[in-house]
Structure 1
Amino acid sequence: MRVLITGSAGFIGFHLARRLLAKGHTVAGIDNMNAYYDVALKQARHAILSEDPRFTPHVLDITDRPALEAVVDGLRPELVVHLAAQAGVRHALKAPEDYVSSNIQGSFHVLEACRKHPPAHLLMASTSSVYGATDKLPFREDDQADTALNIYAASKRSMEVMAHSHAHLWKLPVTCFRFFTVYGPWGRPDMALFRFTRAILAGEPIEVYGHGRMARDFTYVDDLVEAITRLAAHPPVEGHQVGEMDSLSPVAPFRVVNIGGGNPVQLMDFIAAVESALGRQAEKLYRDRQPGEVETTWAEPALLRALTGEVPETPVTRGVQEFVAWYREFYGA
C-alpha cells in the first residue's frame, strides 16, 4: 500500500513508519521538525527511516495547505495516518495558540486533502485527555467527552468533531483512535519516563506531581503500533456495528477507538519500575497536580478487542527496561 504518515519524525510516527516499511509498504512521511523538543532526535528518527528506499520524507507544516495538498496529490495514498500535532498538556498552558493552529487548522487541511483524494481509510490520533472532567471509570468511547480540562484536549476533541462531519458529508472512512500515555524507546523528552530517567542518571531530584496519587493506563509503543496497523484493516462502514460497545456513527463511516490495555498503573509503581531498571533510587520532590491534569486514566478496551482481536499487554516493568536500554545506548548514559 501507499501510506502517508503525518508526524513521521515524531515518537509514534517513527515507530509506525518503521513497522509499515518492514511489512513492505511504501511510506511518505510529513514532519515540520519544529523545536518543541530536540530536533536532533527527530532528525535521527528520519535518518533511520530514510535508509529504506521506500520511505520519502517531506519537511513541511500541515498548516501549509498548498504544500500538504501537493504531497497528497502526488502520492494518492491508500492509507493516511494523521499523527502530526502539538502535543503536551503542560505546554498548552504556555502556548495555547500552537494547539489551535496545528491540531485544529492543520487537521482540517488533512481532512480536506483526503476529501479530494479519498484513501481507503483515514486514521487520526486523538487522546484519552478528551474524556476530561469525568469520574466514570474506565473510559468508554461512548462516554461524554465535552468537559476538556486543557486546550490540548479541546483541540483534539475539535478534530474528532470535524472528522465526523467530513465522514458524513463525503463518506470518508475515518477512525479516531484515543491513545493512553504512550511510552517506550525513542520517546519524547517532555514525557515523564524520559525526564525521570535523565534526572535519576544525573543525580538530580524528580518532581512527582499529584503527590504520587495519580495513575495512568500506560501503553507501550510497540503495542500501540500493532493496534494501529490492525485497525487500519478495519475501516468503519456505516450500518455495520461490531457489537453494542461500538462507537460507530449512525450517520457516517466514523468511529472512535480507545487504544489502551485497561490496566492503570499507580505513578509510584511506575517510578519504582524506573528505579529498578536504572539500579538507582530517585530523590523525590512532591508537587500538587498541575492545572489541566486528571488524576486517573483508564481505558475500556472492549471495542479495540472486538475490532482487532488484541489489546496492549506489555507490562510496565518490561517496557521501562526497553526504554532505559535505548536511552543508555543513544545518549551513552
Structure 2
Amino acid sequence: MKKLLVTGSSGLIGSEVCIHFGNIGWEVHGIDNNQRAVFFGPSGDTRWNESRLKETIGKFTHHELDIRDRRGVIDLIAGIRPDAIVHTAAQPSHDKAAAIPFDDFDTNAVGTFNLLEATRQYSLKVPFVHMSTNKVYGDAPNEIAMNELEKRFDYADIEFENGIPETFRIDQTKHSLFGASKVSADISVQEYGRYFNMPTVCLRGGCLTGPNHTGVELHGFLSYLVKCNLEGKEYTIFGYKGKQVRDNIHSYDVARFIEEFIKAPRIAEVYNLGGGKANTCSILEAFDIISGISGKEMKYVYDETNRIGDHICYYSDLRKMKDHYPGWDITKSLQVTFEEIYEAWTRRN
C-alpha cells in the first residue's frame, strides 16, 4: 500500500487531500498541531477536522508535529518513508503576518525548507507538492488595465482575458509579509527540484475553498462570508467598492489535480491553481449568490481602506495545467461550491 504524508492535514486542502487519497487506497499520514487556533483563536480551531479524518479514513495516522521542528520533521519522514508528500501547512493570512512576522516566516519559509531537506535526505524520487499562493505575484496584477463594471472589475487588457499566467512577474511589487514568506518557500521548492532533480511542484492557489474550511475574517473569504450570512453577522468589505474579483476553486478539484501530478510528476514545475474565469465572483456578486441560496439579505459595512497588497482582480489562467494534465478539469461550479459551503456551516451550527 502506498503511503502519503500530508502537512496541515486538518486544514481545508490538507483534509481534502487526506480523504481523497484514503478513498483511492493510500495509507495516509497527517501532520498538524492546530496552529490555526493559535493564529486565529477559537474560531480557527481545526480539531473537529482531525477527528473527522480519524473517523472517516481507514488507514490514517495523525502526527502532532510543528514543521518548524527541524529534527522532528527529518526523523518523521525517515520513519514513515512516504511515496509522496503534500505540503499544505502554513500561516495562511495575508493580514495576520504583519502582527506575527517571525511566526509567519518560520512557518512558511523555514518550515517548507525543513520539509524539503528532510525529503532530499530520504529520497530524490518522492513527489513533493507545495501549496503556494497567488500572493507571490504581490500587487503587480493591479497594474493591468481594468474595466469597472456594475458589480465587479475585470481585465481590459486582452493579454489577460484567460487570467494570470505562471510567467507573470513576482519582483518589484508589494507582497505583504505573508506573500514574501511564501515567495521564499515557492523559490526553495523550485530550487530543490532544479538543483537536485527532484519532482517538485508549486501550486499557486487563488481562492481555495470548500465545505470543510474553517473560515475566519483574516483568511477564508468565501467560507467566512457564507458563515456571516447564515448567522446574520455583519461582513466588512475592505476597499475597491466590493468589486474585487477572485476565482474560486473547490478543495475537491485541488485534490484531484494533486493526484494527477503525483501519477505523472514533473521537475520543478509551477501552476496557477484556481477556479479560472468561469468560477470568478466579486464580493458584491458573492453576496447575491449566498442570499439567493439562504433567502437572507447580506449585512455588511464598507471600509474604504483596502488591504495592503490586495488584488483588485485576480483569476488563474488554467491553460498550462490543462495542457500538461488533460485528464484534469474543474468539476465543481461556483454555484455548487456555495451550496456545499452553506450546507456545511448549517450542519456545524
- Which residue number corresponds to residue 248 of structure 2? 218
4+ residue stretches of structure 1 with deviation over 6 A?
none
* Alignment match of 2:215 (pick from 189, 194, 209): 189
- Which residue number corresponds to residue 60 of structure 1? 65
- Which residue number corresponds to residue 2 of structure 1? 3
- Which residue number corresponds to residue 250 of structure 1? none
Question: Which segment drifts farther, 300-309 or 12-21?
Answer: 300-309
| CA distance in 2: counterparts of 1:27 and 1:202, whole angstroms | 35
| CA distance in 2: counterparts of 1:40 and 1:157, whole angstroms | 24
- Which residue number corresponds to residue 48 of structure 2? 44
Indicate the percent of aligned positions where both proteins have the same amino acid: 25
Structure 1: which 5+ runs fail to align? 237-252
Q: What is the identity, as a one-letter code, of the residue corresponding to 1:22?
A: N
Secondary structure at the counterpart of residue 8 of structure 1: coil
| CA distance in 1: counterparts of 2:64 and 2:167, whole angstroms | 37
Question: Which segment drifts farther, 179-188 or 309-318?
Answer: 309-318
Question: Which segment drifts farther, 225-234 or 70-79?
Answer: 225-234
Secondary structure at the counterpart of residue 189 of structure 2: helix
Secondary structure at the counterpart of residue 217 of structure 1: strand
Q: Does 1:272 align with 2:288?
A: yes
- Which residue number corresponds to residue 200 of structure 1? 229
* Alignment match of 1:76 (pick from 70, 77, 81): 81
Contact 2:127 2:198 (C-alpha < 8 Å) held by counterparts:
yes
- How far off its partner does 1:39 sit? 7.6
Contact 1:259 1:312 (C-alpha < 8 Å) held by counterparts:
no
Contact 2:192 2:268 (C-alpha < 8 Å) held by counterparts:
no
Q: Does 1:209 align with 2:213?
A: no
Contact 2:230 2:346 (C-alpha < 8 Å) held by counterparts:
no
Question: Which segment drifts farther, 14-23 or 314-323?
Answer: 314-323
- Which residue number corresponds to residue 286 of structure 1? 302
Number of aligned positions between the proteins: 315
| CA distance in 2: counterparts of 1:311 and 1:128, whole angstroms | 19
RMSD: 1.7
| CA distance in 2: counterparts of 1:196 and 1:164, whole angstroms | 34
Secondary structure at the counterpart of residue 216 of structure 1: strand
Question: Which segment drifts farther, 147-156 or 79-88?
Answer: 147-156
Contact 1:179 1:259 (C-alpha < 8 Å) held by counterparts:
yes
Q: What is the identity, as a one-letter code, of the residue corresponding to 2:244?
A: M
Contact 2:128 2:201 (C-alpha < 8 Å) held by counterparts:
yes
- How far off its partner does 1:261 sit? 2.9
- Which residue number corresponds to residue 164 of structure 2? 139
Secondary structure at the counterpart of residue 46 of structure 2: helix
Secondary structure at the counterpart of residue 313 of structure 2: coil
Provide, for residues 76-126 of structure 1, a one-character-per-residue CA deviation record: whole Å limited to 9, x for no partner. Answer: 111001111110111123222222110111011000100111243111110
Secondary structure at the counterpart of residue 128 of structure 2: strand
- How far off its partner does 1:265 sit? 1.8
* Alignment match of 2:314 (pick from 297, 300, 303): 297
Superposition TM-score, scaled by structure 2 size: 0.86
- How far off its partner does 1:41 sit? 4.5
- Which residue number corresponds to residue 257 of structure 1? 271
- Which residue number corresponds to residue 333 of structure 2? 315
| CA distance in 1: counterparts of 2:338 and 2:170, whole angstroms | 30
* Alignment match of 1:129 (pick from 130, 135, 141): 135
- Which residue number corresponds to residue 152 of structure 2? none
CA change 1:143–1:193 in 2 (3 A) is closer
Contact 1:260 1:312 (C-alpha < 8 Å) held by counterparts:
no
